[in-house]
Amino acid sequence: MSITATHRLIQFSKIAVLTDLESDSEKILRYAGSLARWYGAKLLLAHACAPELHVEPPPEPLPNWPESGTPPKQDAEEKVRSLTGKLHLQDLVSRVIIREASIGFLLHELEEYRPNLVVIATHGREGMRKWLAGSVCEEVFRKVQWPVLVLGPGMVEKDLTLQKQFRTILYGTDMSAVSVSALQYAAGIAHDHDAQLIALYVDENPEEAFSFDRAMALQRLKDWLEDRADGLAEALTGVHSMVESGKAETEIVKAAAEWGADLVVLGARGRAAAGPASHFMGGTAYEVVCTSGCPVLIVPQPR
């Protein structure tokens, strides 16, 4: 089945790409460009040079570590021009935003352009540069109000498969209000790409009364999905529901690998949100990002 652009449930017309302009930027921009062409979207390329966050190089210089920390603005502008030309993205890039400011300031400025999606990569938790990149990534998906597509270490360290369509989408839910917006994106993207949608609930407290019967837990998940299917009935047709026990991040990554998922979708609550934290607020989502072999879409709870 081929879904035309006018009948898609999810429209990504502006995709913002946050890049550190390091060696992996070409892969990330190529992937973002592939998404933009599929959705008929424009790209906003954004980079923050933050002198106030200058980091001294380690005693043993790492490959590509700049001599003076963050590259100056003019070097960043030249790198962007070079990358967009090399990857033939000139027709997709509508704006380039390079600021000598913190990532928080850059995110605030991006609000003016109202992107529908942010794409960012993280190297995870290993090494000083990777720790810094990971910190920025987590700050991004906790602060912004738009979905964030994160390419984790498993994606950055290998050649990215440039797919025009997702085939299998894994949606992880804790059945909280935080997960509802993520469900809309997971179901909508699955519908638009004619992909298999798998809904996974991970029971981290198997000794709780609710969990004594796996069949009951599975029925509760199906009922939860059905109760929130308003406007999504067609998109949720054929959804495969699963219940597992254990650590949420471990089971999500395991299921994604077993099903050959092209995308994992999770909900997240920002730091400033009131009420008890969902286990997808930052910890679980970030752990999934760091170990997933496919991109992870983090969908924030609406403000």
Question: What is the pTM for the complete model shown?
Answer: 0.84
pLDDT at 178: 86
Q: Do 187 and 9 contact (CB within 8 A), yes or no?
A: yes
pLDDT value at residue 83: 92
pLDDT for residue 82: 92
Instruction: Output the pLDDT for position 90.
Output: 95
Separation between Cα atoms, residue 251 and residue 202, nearest integer Å = 7
The whole-number pLDDT of residue 205 equals 72
| Per-residue 3-state assignment (H helix, E strand, C coil) for the chain | CCCCHHHCCCCCCEEEEECCCCCCHHHHHHHHHHHHHHHCCEEEEEEECCHHHCCCCCCCCCCCCCCCCCCCHHHHHHHHHHHHHHCCCCCCEEEEEEECCCHHHHHHHHHHHCCCEEEEECCCCCCHHHHHHHHHHHHHHHHCCCCEEEECHHHHCCCCCCCCCCCEEEEEECCCCHHHHHHHHHHHHHHHHCCEEEEEEEECCCCCHHHHCHHHHHHHHHHHHHHCCCCCCCCCCCCEEEEEECCHHHHHHHHHHHHCCCEEEEEECCCCCCCCCCCCCCHHHHHHHHHCCCCEEEEECCC
Residue type, 165: Q
| Res 50: pLDDT | 55
Predicted pLDDT at 95 = 95
303 residues of the chain, pLDDT tens digit each: 556 677 889 999 999 999 888 767 888 899 999 999 999 999 999 998 755 444 444 455 444 434 445 446 888 899 999 999 999 999 999 999 998 888 888 998 999 999 999 999 886 655 434 444 556 777 787 788 899 999 887 676 566 555 668 999 999 999 988 899 999 999 999 999 999 999 999 987 766 545 457 788 899 999 999 998 887 888 888 899 999 988 999 999 999 999 999 999 999 865 444 333 333 445 788 889 888 989 999 998 776
Provide the pLDDT for residue 269. Answer: 66
